[in-house]
Chains A and B, each alone.
Chain A
C-alpha cells in the first residue's frame, strides 16, 4: 500500500524505479521508510528521554549540587579558621605592644633616676671645685697685693742706691726717695 504510494511520489522528480523500489530513489525522500523510521525514533528517543529525565540528569545535577555545597562548606570553614588566626595574631601583637611599652617605661625610669644621680654628683663636684677655685684666687690676689706693696720699697731702695752711686756724696733721705718713686709710679 504505502510502498506504491512512495514510488508514485518520488518517480516524478527522481530516477524512475527500475524494479528495485528503494534503490532507484534518493533514500532520504523515500517515504516508504518513513513509518519505520518514525516508530523506531519514537521508541529510541522516548526511552532516551525517559532515562535522561529520570536517571542521568538528576544524578549529574546531584553531583554538581553536592560539590557546590561541599565547596561552600569548605569555604565557610576556611574563613572561620582565618578569623581564628587573625584573632590570635591580634592578641599576640597586643601582648607584644604591652611588653614593649612596659620595657620603655622601665628604661625611661632608670634613665631618669641615673641622670638625676649624675646631675647631683656633678653639681657637688662643681661646687667643690668652685670653692677651691675661689680660695686659690683669693690667695693669688693676696700674694699679688703683697708683692705690689713690696715693689715700692724695693724701688725706693734701688733708687736710693743708684742716686748714691751716680751723684756720690750723701744719699738722699729715705722719705724723699720713696716720695719721688711714688710720684713716678703714679
Chain B
C-alpha cells in the first residue's frame, strides 16, 4: 500500500482518515482530521443553504427558498405521518438528522471528497442519539409503562415470554441495523464506484484495445454514479423514516 500510484485505484484509500492537526486531550487522540473537516463542511453547507435561502422570508418563495421549504415540509409530513402531531416535538432532531445525513451523503459524491457517513462510528453515534432519545423520553414520559413496548397486548399468556424476548432483541438490534444500513450502503456504493472507475483507468493504460474495452466500465461508472445519488437521498430518507417510527414508539409504547 505504499506509494501514491496505488492509491489512485485502491478502493479503500478513500476511507482513510488523515490528521490535519493534532489534538491530544488526556492522552486520547482527538485530532482534527479530514473526517472532522468534512463534518464541518457538511454542517456549513447545510446551514448556509438553509439560512441564506430563507433570509428573504419571501411570501412568494425563490427557487432556493422553495427547496428549503420543501425539505421542511417533507420531513414534517414524514414525522407527522408516523408519530402523529405529538411527534412534532422531535422535529428539530429529525430534521437535523435528515439534513446532516443527506448533505454528508451528497458531499461524499464529489470526487476526492470524504464521505462522513461511510464511517461506522459516525452512523452508530447518530443512531445512538435516536435510540437514546427514544429510551430516555419513553421512560421520562411513561415511566415503567414504557416497558409495555415489549409486551404486545392481545397475546396469549403462554407466548408472552417468547414475544417479549423477541421484542427486546429487536429493540436492541435497532441501533445496529440503523447504523449498519447507512454505513454499508455508503461504503459499498463508493467501493463499487471506485472499482469500476479503476477498471477504466487500468484498461486505458493498455493502449487502443484497452481504451475500447474501457467503454463498458465507463458506462457502468456513470450508471452507478446516478444510482449513488439516488442511494444518497434514499438512505437519508430511510434513516429519517425509521427514526420517526422509533420515536412513535416512545410516544405511544402500547401498540
Contact = CB atoms under 8 A, between A and B. Distances in A.
> DSSP class of A's interface residues: helix, strand, loop or mixed?
helix
A184 interface: no
Given A28-B118, A44-B39, A45-B100, A36 B54 contact: no
Interface stretch (A16-24, A150-158, A168-176): A16-24
Contacts of A37: 17, 33, 35-36, 119, 121-122, 125
Interface string A104-127: 000000000000000000000000
Contacts of B57: 59, 62-63, 66
B1 interface: yes
A49 B96 contact: yes
B200 interface: no
Interface bracket on A: 35 or more
Interface string A1-31: 1110000000000000000101110111110
Nearest to B46: A48
Interface in A121-142: none
Categorize the interface residue count of chain B.
35 or more
B187 interface: yes
A166 interface: no
Interface of B: 1, 12, 15-17, 23, 27-33, 35-36, 39-40, 42-43, 46-47, 50-51, 54, 57-59, 61, 65, 68-69, 72-73, 91-93, 95-96, 99-100, 116, 118-122, 125-126, 129, 183, 187
